[in-house]
Structure 1
């Protein structure tokens, strides 16, 4: 297994230290594996997509507006 060194903010390290029972290396490994799986899925999805970048941006804005509108209604 390869060793990797990460830099984290002091505040995060202090919070991590408050949970000495945690295997933070395993947490990081799992997070890396999940992120890679997500990126591989997106790469595969993108390769099959017919959407242009501008289509994707437009759809993203529409979804964001829809979610924002829904949250505003819930907050009332």
Structure 2
């Protein structure tokens, strides 16, 4: 922060908080309409991680 004293850091933080709140509100709304269980989400996450690991291991 000291490197860029001309930045309005309180505004940067305020915008970050606003964006985080919007993201959380979206996730809450999305989740309320979802039939995906926590177990399903974990399984899909593991599959995605495995596929990404394979992809980047080949590269």
Normalised TM-score (structure 1): 0.72
Q: What residue is the counterpart of 2:19 in the other structure?
A: 34
> By how many angstroms is 1:19 displaced?
0.6
Q: What residue is the counterpart of 1:8 in the other structure?
A: none
Partner Cα distance (1:30, 1:71) in 2: 34
How many aligned residue pairs are there? 59
Structure number with the bigger relative contact order (C-alpha 8 A, sep ≥ 6) is: 2
Within the candidate set 25, 29, 34, 1:49 is matched to: 34
Report SS of the residue matched to 2:7.
coil
Q: Which runs of 5+ in 1 are unaligned?
A: 1-15
Normalised TM-score (structure 2): 0.90
Q: Which runs of 5+ in 2 are unaligned?
A: none
> By how many angstroms is 1:63 displaced?
1.0
